[in-house]
Amino acid sequence: MIAIRPAEPSDAPELVSLAASVGQEAGDWLLTTETWRPVGDERRYLKAVRRHADAAVYVAVDGGRIVGRLSLARDPHPASTHVADLGLMVAESHRRRGIGTALLEAAVAWAKGSGVSKLELHVFPWNEPAIQLYERFGFEREGRRRGHYLRNGDAVDALLMAYHLPSGSGSPPAPAP
């Protein structure tokens, strides 16, 4: 059975391994193709996220093994603090088993508790399986960012997709005094 839980700093080695594995797949799913951040940096990042109310990392665990990751971060600009960006990856061995959907449900729950009413993500236009997952979940295409990322030295496009939480489920926090 798959469990979704907040990431712990001790998850860093497995998360680095997951990212390296997904990044090296033939489908070119991630920006990172060779390396992810080092384990020590990942551990420090996870510790910082735990202390920061405007970000979160969730993992999907199957039999003690991490098979998925979802990262969230609120936009820091005062005019868009109701928006959070997310990133998602699932191990190739565990795709099409509902894990991506379960992680997206965790993102919505986090958003509701954080006053976020819009979740955004970037996805490569050739990543049809991910685009289909996001659209089934309720994400809509909002645009195309041409040449937005450099991947292996080549400029590549990204689709911008967004999920709007139902009214009343998340509201922007009050402006800072």
State the SS3 of 119-143: EEEEECCCCHHHHHHHHHHCCEEEE
State percent of the chain over pLDDT 90.
Answer: 66
Phi-psi region of 16 (alpha: psi -120 to 50; beta: other; left: phi over 0): alpha
Q: Bridge partners of 47?
A: none
State percent of the chain over pLDDT 70.
Answer: 87
Residue 152: is its pLDDT beyond 80? no
The pLDDT-based confidence of 133 (bands split at 50, 70, 90) is very high
The more confidently predicted of residues 79 and 27 is 79
What is the topology classification, in CATH, of domain 2-164?
A: Aminopeptidase (3.40.630)
What type of residue is 48?
Answer: A
pLDDT at position 139 is 97
Q: What is the mean pLDDT of residues 117-127?
A: 93
Query: What does the alpha-carbon distance between residue 136 and residue 152 come to, in Å, rounded to a whole number?
Result: 30
Which two three-digit tokens encode residue 6?
A: 């907040």
Q: What is the mean pLDDT of residues 32-43?
A: 78
